Amino acid sequence: MLYVTGKWSADTAAPTTSYVAIGDSFTEGVGDPGPDGVFVGWADRLARMLAGQSPDGFRYANLAVRGRLLQQIVDEQVPRARELAPDLVTFCAGGNDILRPGTDPDTLAGIYEAALAELLTTAGTVVVCTGFDTRSFPVLSLLRGKIATYNAHLRAVADRHGCPVLDLWSLRAVQDRRAWDEDRLHLSPEGHRRVALRCAEVLGIETPDHADDPWPGPQAAGSRRDDLLWARQHLLPWIGRRLRGESSGDNVEAKRPDLAPLSTGN
């Protein structure tokens, strides 16, 4: 495996005129619906900021599909991203694997690193994305140690290959419940906006706001009743789909499979 020496720097990075996003529901944009019913999400929001930096000829593809496991992303999306050979790739994967019992973060990190090395053969820059800190969420907080282990691997992988890191664990703004959709698994529109801002900051893009700007006013306090309602409406159906071998991404295709300019409204 080829390792790259030296740290990535926004000061020396080439301008971004093409961007490919790969991943699962997080990168597809679930929780952030657009007026046409198609999810927007942080990657689309980031693409708009990148287009503002390179308005002439900027192109964007989003290959992410909800429910995809890491190996599925490696098999289905990484080859297409390599074929498109963009200036920039954001690679967010492994979250759905971490949610499943019995998965080993060490093994996942090995799969991720091999795919990252493949992406770097044709992509100019690949952003490595860590997982969120789940300490504030019932049930998901039990996975905090597993996520932290995977994140430690991802940071080491990024360092070995000279890649920038979108460190979502340290993003304080998403510890506010208003950053999350009612299912507590996907970001709200404002949560997606905060992540897009953080990624832009990592890439050295000037932003109108800061990702960790304070929220207006205090968040509403949760209750035991809220947790029970969430479990009945969202957690139990999710477990049921897992037991039946179903995925929310069954029969779903990538919303932007080709590198194309961003038109008004998309």
Whether residue 97 is contained in a domain is answered as yes
Q: Report the distance separating Cα 14 and Cα 146, nearest Å.
A: 35
Whether residue 191 is contained in a domain is answered as yes
Whether residue 75 is contained in a domain is answered as yes
Beta bridge partners of 187: 180
| pLDDT score, position 224 | 63
Q: Compute the chain's Rg from CA coordinates.
A: 18
- Tally of CB atoms within 10 A around 37: 6
Q: Which residue type occupies 184?
A: R
Percentage of the chain exceeding pLDDT 70? 82
- Could you report the per-residue pLDDT of 22-31, keeping only the tens digit for each? 999 999 999 9
Least-confidence region, from 79-93, 101-115, 197-211, 225-239: 225-239
Whether residue 48 is contained in a domain is answered as yes
Q: Report the distance separating Cα 178 and Cα 172, nearest Å.
A: 12
The CATH number given to whatever domain includes residue 131 is 3.40.50.1110
Residue 21 has pLDDT above 90, yes or no: yes
Q: Quick one: tokens of 48?
A: 């708009």
Whether residue 224 is contained in a domain is answered as no
Whether residue 47 is contained in a domain is answered as yes
Domain of residue 177 covers: 18-213
Least-confidence region, from 9-18, 34-43, 126-135: 9-18
| pLDDT score, position 185 | 85
- Tally of CB atoms within 10 A around 68: 28
User: What average pLDDT does the chain have?
Assistant: 88
Beta bridge partners of 89: 20, 126
Q: Tokens 């991720």 map to which residue?
A: 112
How far is the CA of 74 from the CAs of 64, 80, 100, 200, 258, in angstroms? 11, 10, 18, 25, 17
Residue 116 has pLDDT above 70, yes or no: yes
Residue 200 has pLDDT above 60, yes or no: yes
Question: What is the number of structural domains in the chain?
Answer: 1
Q: What is the 3-state secondary structure (H, E, C) of 48-105?
A: HHHHHHCCCCCEEEECCCCCCCHHHHHHHCHHHHHHHCCCEEEECCCHHHHCCCCCCH
| pLDDT score, position 3 | 53
What's the predicted TM-score (pTM) here? 0.89
Looking at residues 62-66, what average pLDDT do you find? 97
- Could you report the per-residue pLDDT of 47-58, keeping only the tens digit for each? 999 998 886 789
Whether residue 136 is contained in a domain is answered as yes
Residue 245 has pLDDT above 80, yes or no: no
Whether residue 222 is contained in a domain is answered as no
Q: Which of 126, 144, 127 is nearest to 135 (CA)?
A: 144
| pLDDT score, position 9 | 73
